[in-house]
Amino acid sequence: MDFLKPETVLDLANIRDALVRMEDTIIFNFLERSQYFSSPSVYELGKFEIPNFQGSFLDWTLMNLERVHSQVRRYESPDEVPFFPDEILPPLLPSINYPKILASFSDEININDLIKENYIEHIVPLISTGSGEQPENLGSCTVCDIDNLQALSRRIHFGKFVAEAKFQNEREKYTKLIQEKDIAGIEEAITNSAVEERILLRLIEKGKAYGVDPTLKFSQNAQSKVSPEYLAKIYKDWVIPLTKKVEVDYLLRRLEEE
C-alpha cells in the first residue's frame, strides 16, 4: 500500500493485509503493557500537578508527543489521526503532496476520545498484570499506553479507507442506503462475518504463539502474558465495532462529496 498511489490504497485486499499486519503491532504493544499494573493514577484528571494543564498525566504526555510528531508531519499522512487535533503544530519538514484518497471531510471523522475511553475502561484491565498502582512504573506505563492508543487509533480509523473502497465498489447500493439514512442497512452492508471470524481465530493463534517462550510452547509451563481469549475479546467487543463505527460515520457523510 502506497499513499502516493490511491489505487493501491483503495484495494480491499491490500487494506485487509494492512489490517492483519497491524494485529502484530497491537499484540506486541499489549505484551509490553502487560508487564505493568493497571496504574489508575496515570488516567486520573489532575492527579499530578502540571502547570497550566487540567487533564490526566497520559493526556499531557500524549499531547506533547503529538506536538513533536506533528512537526515531523505525522498527521499529514492520511492514516494518522491525532488525539489532540487542536494542539498540533505545522510541520517543520516540507509538506508531502498526497493525492486525494478520502473525502474532504475525512479529518473530521475522529473517534479518538471514544477509543481512549474504551481503552482505559475496558482494555487496560484485560492486559495489565494486576490491578492497582506501581509508582515506579508510571512513566513506562504511560509510554506503553501511548503506543497502544496510537496503534489502535490507526487500525480503527483505517475504517475510512475500507468505507471509501466499499463505496466505490458498490456506489449505487451505498448511495441509496445513505440517502435513506439507513444506518442498520449500512451496518449490514459493511459487515463481512467470515472476515471477522478469521480475525478472531487468527488472534487466538497469534496470542498463543507470540506471548510465550517458543521453546516452552508445548510444555505446561508455557503461559501467555496476554490471554489469547482476551485478545479476541478486545477485537470482538471494541476494535471491530469501533472500526465499523468509523465506516458508518464516514459513509453517512459520503454524499457531501459527490
Ligand X SMILES: O=C(O)C(=O)C[C@]1(C(=O)O)C=C[C@@H](O)C=C1
Position 199 contacts ligand X (CB under 6 A): yes
Residue 88 in grid coordinates: 498540533
Position 9 contacts ligand X (CB under 6 A): no
Q: Tell me the C-alpha distance between 53 and 157, whole Å.
A: 28
The least CB distance from residue 144 to ligand X, in Å, is 23
CB-nearer residue toward ligand X: 12 or 146 = 12
Q: Which of 9, 10, 19, 177 binds ligand X (CB under 6 A)?
A: 19
| 37 three-state secondary structure | strand
Residues with active-site annotation: 16, 155, 166, 192, 196, 243, 247
Task: Count other Cβ atoms within 10 Å, centred on residue 168.
Answer: 12
Q: Phi/psi of residue 146, each to 5°?
A: -65, -45
Position 16 contacts ligand X (CB under 6 A): yes
Return the range that interacts with ligand X (CB under 6 A); candidates 46-54, 121-129, 184-192, 207-215. 184-192
Return the range that interacts with ligand X (CB under 6 A); candidates 41-49, 87-95, 167-175, 243-251. 243-251
CB-nearer residue toward ligand X: 141 or 165 = 165
Q: How far is CA 112 from CA 81, 97, 143, 157, 210, in A?
A: 8, 25, 17, 9, 27
| 130 three-state secondary structure | strand
Residue 142 in grid coordinates: 504511560
Residue 107 in grid coordinates: 479529518
Position 26 contacts ligand X (CB under 6 A): no
CB-nearer residue toward ligand X: 127 or 162 = 162
Return the range that interacts with ligand X (CB under 6 A); candidates 21-29, 127-135, 195-203, 211-219. 195-203
